[in-house]
Amino acid sequence: MAKNNLPKSGPGYAEAAAAATSHEPDTKTSSAATTNDSTRLVEDNTPRHITIPRTLYPTFVAIFIGVLIVSNITATKGVEIGPLVTDGAFFLFPLSYVIGDVLSECYGYKATRRAVWTGFSILAFAMLCFFIAIKLPPAGFYENQAAFEAVLGTVPQLVLAGLAGYVVGQLLNAWSLNAIKKRTGERKLWARLMGSTVVGELVDTLIFCSIAATAIGIDSWGAFANYVVVGFLWKSAVEFCILPLTYVVIGWVKKHEGYYDSPASPA
């Protein structure tokens, strides 16, 4: 048992006793305070919710993923415009790179990478749901099973090609934009947008065509080169044509999010 070294009496007795007792936790008081807080929460019927930060990031991620899912469905249709042969997503899929540029420029590589992997997971889940829905036995009155399979029954080879090309292309797009930004700072936004798109789109198209060549009817090196070159040039042209709009969106997002008032942070 510890000895009590307090003086029994004298001028320092009161001060020493007060100092010794001040370090002892008042468990009764703290327990009572906790109980009162809990009781107050239970008695308060006001609805409580977690506060969501006011940021545009979730909105852009939702649009980004929506474009990906719709693109994968519309891509099942072959399209022929004069001598050019492409798919039904030719006008939509390039927008995913525009949104990816906005995410990378405004929120950084880590935030964009999180959006890319979120999109990958949801897209893979959507493909799984389509597969299960196709395999379910149709009702006797349902007459569109063949059409349903034709639209949503994408060949597994195409799914793999699309997912692989998407992940690698988008991550390279985001990484390239941030690598260029480290050299240029806030200057030369056009160089970041176009340079990153060239890298991401080229690799995306190469990976997709390499994996899905036989599934989409590519049976020669000439056809392969035509598909890759036409697809790459078209996607890059879309990025270039809507570059002014991308500038406006990025400027608006930076102003809305307090970009210029925030301290510099690693991408």
Residue partners of 84: CB distance under 8 A and separation at least 6: 230
What's the rounded mean pLDDT across residues 210-220? 76
Q: What is the largest CA-CA distance in the chain?
A: 107
What's the rounded mean pLDDT across residues 33-41? 57
pLDDT score, position 223: 78
Q: What is the pLDDT of residues 73-128, one digit of tens each?
A: 887 777 777 777 677 777 887 788 888 889 989 998 999 999 999 998 998 898 88
Q: What is the pLDDT of residues 223-264, one digit of tens each?
A: 788 778 887 888 788 888 888 888 899 999 998 888 766 665
What is the 3-class SS of the chain, one letter each residue?
CCCCCCCCCCCCHHHHHHHHHHCCCCHHHHHHHHHHHHHHHHHCCCCCCCCCCCCCHHHHHHHHHHHHHHHHHHCCCEEEECCEEEECCCCCCHHHHHHHHHHHHHHCHHHHHHHHHHHHHHHHHHHHHHHHHHHCCCCCCCCCHHHHHHHHCCCHHHHHHHHHHHHHHHHHHHHHHHHHHHHHCCCCHHHHHHHHHHHHHHHHHHHHHHHHCCCCCCCCHHHHHHHHHHHHHHHHHHHHHCHHHHHHHHHHHHHHCCHHHCCCCCC
Q: Is the pLDDT of residue 43 over 70?
A: no
pLDDT score, position 27: 52
d(CA 212, CA 152): 17
Lowest mean pLDDT among 26-35, 168-177, 215-224: 26-35
Tell me how crowded residue 181 is: count the other CB atoms within 10 A of its CB. Answer: 21
Global confidence as pTM: 0.71
CA gyration radius for the chain? 30
What's the rounded mean pLDDT across residues 143-156? 83
Q: Per-residue confidence at 26, pLDDT binned at 50, 70, 90?
A: low
Average pLDDT, the chain: 79
Higher pLDDT, 22 or 229: 229
CB 193 within 8 A of CB 97: no
Lowest mean pLDDT among 42-56, 113-127, 176-190: 42-56
pLDDT score, position 12: 53
